[in-house]
Structure 1
Amino acid sequence: MSRIKLGLSMRYLGYHIAAWRHPDFDPGSLSRFEAYRDIAQKAEAEKLDMIFFADGLAVRSEDKPAGSLSHDMRNAELEPITLLSAIAAVTSRIGLVATASTTYNEPYHVARKYASLDHISGGRAGWNVVTSWSEQEALNFSRISNLPKDERYDRALEFVEVVRGLWDSFEEDAFTHDKTSGQFYDPDKRHVLDHKGKFFQVRGPLTSARPPQGHPLIVQAGASDQGRNIAAQYADVVYTVSHSVEEAREFYADLKARAAHFGRRDNAPLIMPALAFYVGETTAQAQAKLDELQRLIDPLAGLALLYTYVGDLSAYDIDKPIPEEHFANGISIGSSLIKRARDEGLTIRQLYELIGAGYTVRYVVGTAEEIVDDMQLWVESGAADGFNLCPPILPHSLDDLSAFILPELRRRGLFRTEYEGRTLRENLGLTSPLPSGA
């Protein structure tokens, strides 16, 4: 069995909805560089593959129920490329991945920023490709509504192709720096993209030497048919939010088959489902950590979390199930979530606790042996190549990862003790792409 790949998602410094209310958590750290620096350095000391920052271009929550928005921690955060550039200066091996939207950026901007981050970090940058879907983001960019879904994905595909072309503007050995002849670069090794497409006209070349990795890593998280095709063609890593091993196996097989159709190699893209964890010396201790955070969920924040799926539930008793008549009013609901609530007889409070424990991602509770058994099952059964770890609360959950889960993974020979190389691609076992036309 090959080594499990592990990333650490650091957005909001915790994936439990009430992490910021924990007595040992400093909410002011959300805007302090030092907090992220220290976590990144700990993650590197434990030889994790990468740290990851999701991102959005708006406060995407609505103030529904009224007053709930002011109870939501997802309102102020640091811009991830700026943050990762600073972290690059105080780390040397761990990968640095951040989101940039293809809807409200231009390809030249993204190509230049990630090429720069790759140079600054010595070959550790990765771009998480997303399309922006929320109306709140549209309103921040001189639009009154978002682009239709098909158009967003068509734009995203062309966007990625342009960025990749711009990264190929100069060959690896183009810059001769010959002081005797006065030649700074070999003109035959400079390539003007001159792209003319449906959405973009980009001449180029990029004002950057070829990135150390050839191309910074491309990461993708879309599960739609269009998103899967983009991932199959161009992604090096795919993040998923699968809640069962059966669902994950189906996604894994489908994406690997699509990638093979496009002639991909290196087992790319690597597939890394999201995983939150609560671990202790005993299962009871792990459950106690979850229970402590669950008690801190403000009901108003919990109701706001449910609003997206089931509408406004603030008129109902949160310690009773969602009334049947609520659904009769025609409110659209998430089918799998509501089915589970009905099958298990969950109250409204229990339903928002279920989601709030991991901000909708799958979570496991148990001892190190139990959690690693689960991880090993997913990898050995063809459901994952690794995991995007979504810790409930940082740095506390990283300390638990170090004390419990990583030693058990290493005891089984499933995770490294030292980095294999200096670049993110080397450590993930991925080769650098050939330049366009090579």
Structure 2
Amino acid sequence: MDAGTPSMILTAALMHGLGMHTGAWMAREGDAGDHLTPGLYKDIARTAEAGKLHAIFLAEQMTNQEVGTERPCGALDTVTVLSLMAGITDRIGLVGTASTTYNQPYDLARRFATLDHLSQGRVGWNSIATPNPTVIEMFGGGSHPDHAERYARADEFIDVVLKLWDSWEEGALVGDKEAGVFADPDRVHEINHVGEYFSVKGPMPFARSPQGGPVIFQAGSSDRGRDQAAKYADVVFTAQHVLEDAVAFRDDMRRRAAEYGRHPDSIKILPDMSVVLGATEKDAQERKQLMDEVFGVTANIKKLSKRVGLPVEVLKLDEKFPAHLRGPDAEFTGSIGFRRSIVSLAVKEDLTVRELIGSYGGGHHQVVGTAEQVADQMQERLLAGAADGFTLMVDMLPSGVHDAVEMLVPELQRRGLFHTDYEHDTLRESLGLPAPALVPAG
């Protein structure tokens, strides 16, 4: 690459079972149950690694309560699916979502560290404080914790997980057969954590992984979510439609990280980009139109209603988006980051509801066009300081991954914006992140 030209990080997100677009399952070729088969995930993993993508990101919906039987959702167990992918790949990173609201830290730490070992240091954990209130019904019922409590629990949860991953120091596994010393007990520590939400003795039952511990990903965009990410996260996903908002978000996250004593470059910002590719712009538009049409206008309005917290009846297709009718973010139970980004887009571009539905990408910055047009948008944002790379929200699986690898990746490489091969073995090194500092055990 040319000196001074930033090299982007590129990951691909697998959403909603068969694609980011909620009409993908009807528009694509293949069986509607393909998201339950190993072949789909093997194809995606091999294709993404052939394209030298830094990582595959697997979202997780713990229940199907929001969609019911209307469409497939990404409700398979994250670690299990990533384990399948790990077994057939060698270099690509494997990132999975797991909730801090509906898991226990010891169990989660053990599962992700196991996968990190078996993949030889290629795993990331996307920490999420689950906003969906229906999940509580699967875990004994009661009251779903509010935003403040979810994040308080998440702070403590992440603290415990990091302590567990560090409970074996580097080099604690000795393996001296002649002396009969398997591990140095002075370098293996109980964590003896007692807090408001958890009591965990530790240590982990095995040594730390090749990269020191899975890479921490996070996607909270509320003020509380940003603060947590600045303290703990290595990589931050974010939904940002407007360029100025994206620049401001990255600047804010780097500033917050510095306030926690971290180097600003130790946190990578990967805005989501919902990409619909075609050999020509007409091809891309027709692909998008097909998915929109099979999903239907009524369903699109319902989805927008959930994203922004406005009743369906006030969303009139050919009238301006009624941003003034929305309540405060503090009273909204969905993703605040999605909501703010969508409303900002609607207001800045003065969109009708119909126009907004066609352009908001389900909550993510949307680009429909050729590889050159998508690369133009990426290059503009990269050079403006709005991103360290991007998370491709793949519209339809597996064809969207093939399109990205066969069309977009070569164009980015031609411009010197993306690497041509993997240069490191672990995900942490591949992302340009420093080795994790040991967290004190006590």
TM-score (norm 2): 0.89
Distance 1:338 1:202 in 2: 43
Distance in 1 between residues matched to 2:164 and 2:209, nearest whole Å: 11
The alpha carbon displacement at 1:339 in A equals 8.2
Which runs of 5 or more structure 1 residues have no equivalent in the other structure?
A: 63-68
The Cα shift of 1:145 comes to 2.0
- Residue of structure 2 in register with 1:2 after alignment: 6
Please state if 1:37 is matched with 2:35: no
Match of residue 389 from structure 1: 392
Deviation at 1:323, TM superposition (A): 11
Q: Take 1:19 and 1:359, find their aligned partners in 2: how far apart are those partners?
A: 12
| AA matched with 1:72 | R
Paired AA for residue 420 in structure 2: T
Matching of residues 165-180 of structure 1 within 5 Å: 165-180=163-178
Contact conserved, 2:321 with 2:352, CA < 8 A, in 1? no
Counterpart CA distance in 1 for 2:419 and 2:297 is 42
Q: Which residue of 1 aligns with 2:311?
A: 311
CA contact (8 A) 2:320 2:350 kept: no
Out of 182, 194, 197, the residue aligned to residue 195 of structure 2 is: 197
- Corresponding residue for residue 373 of structure 1: 376
Work out which of the residue numbers 274, 287, 290 in structure 1 matches 2:285: 287
Partner in structure 2 of residue 361 of structure 1: 364
Give the CA deviation at 1:344: 3.1
Q: Deviations over 1:105-125 (max 9, x none)?
A: 111011101110100100001
1:170 and 1:44, CA in 2 relative to 1: closer, same or farther beyond 3 A? same
Distance change in 2, residues 1:159/1:319 (3 Å) = closer
1:207 paired residue number? 205
> Paired residue for 1:46, among 23, 40, 51?
51
Superposition pairs for residues 6-405 of structure 1, below 5 Å? 6-11=10-15, 12-61=17-66, 69-74=68-73, 77-265=75-263, 267-308=265-306, 309-313=309-313, 321=319, 337=343, 340=346, 343-347=350-354, 351-355=356-360, 358-405=361-408
User: 1:410/1:23 Cα in 2 relative to 1: closer, same or farther (>3 Å)?
Assistant: closer
Task: Sort the Cα spacing of 1:363 and 1:122 in 2 relative to 1 into closer, same or farther, 3 A.
Answer: same
Pairwise CA distance, 1:83: 0.7
Amino acid at match of 1:311: P
Letter in 1 for 2:99: S
RMSD of Structure 2 on Structure 1 (CA)? 2.7
CA shift for structure 1 position 52:
0.5
Check 1:141–1:40 CA distance in 2 against 1; reply closer, same or farther (3 A cut): same
Q: Which residue type is aligned with residue 248 of structure 1? A: A
1:47 shift after superposition: 0.5
- Whole-angstrom CA distance in 2 between matches of 1:218 and 1:345: 38
AA aligned to 2:263 is R
Tell me how far 1:25 sits from its aligned partner: 3.8
3-state SS of the aligned residue for 1:403? helix
Relative distance call for 1:23 and 1:374 in structure 2 (3 A) is: closer
Q: Following the alignment from structure 1 to structure 2, what is the Cα–Cα distance between the partners of residues 303 and 266?
A: 39
Q: Distance in 2 between matches of 1:371 and 1:319?
A: 28
Report deviation, 1:179. Answer: 2.3
Structure 1 counterpart of 2:50, which letter?
A
1:255 alignment partner, SS class = helix
TM-score by length of 1: 0.89
Aligned 8 A contact 1:266 1:431 in 2: no
Conserved in 1, the CA contact under 8 Å of 2:23 and 2:294?
yes
Q: Gapped runs of 5+ residues in structure 2?
A: 333-338
Q: Deviations over 1:357-403 (max 9, x none)?
A: x3221110222222111101111111100001011112211222123
Match of residue 434 from structure 2: 431
Partner of 2:265, secondary structure, is coil
SS at match of 1:13: coil
1:255 deviates by 0.4
Identity %: 39
Q: Deviations over 1:324-381 (max 9, x none)?
A: 8x96999x9968549838933344xx554445xx322111022222211110111111
Q: Work out whether residues 101 and 150 of structure 2, in 8 Å CA contact, stay in contact via their aligned partners in 1.
A: yes
The 2-side partners of 1:292 and 1:164 are apart by 45
- Supply the AA of the counterpart residue of 1:124: R
Aligned equivalents of 1:437 and 1:328: distance in 2?
A: 45
Question: Matches of 2:193 and 2:253 in 1, distance apart?
Answer: 28
Query: For 1:212 and 1:366, how far apart are their aligned partners in 2?
Result: 40
Shift of 1:36: 0.8
Equivalents in 2 of 1:321, 1:72: separation in Å? 29
Letter in 2 for 1:368: A
Number of residues paired by the alignment? 423
Question: Per the alignment, do residues 26 and 328 of structure 1 end up closer, same or farther by CA in structure 2, a change over 3 Å counting?
Answer: closer
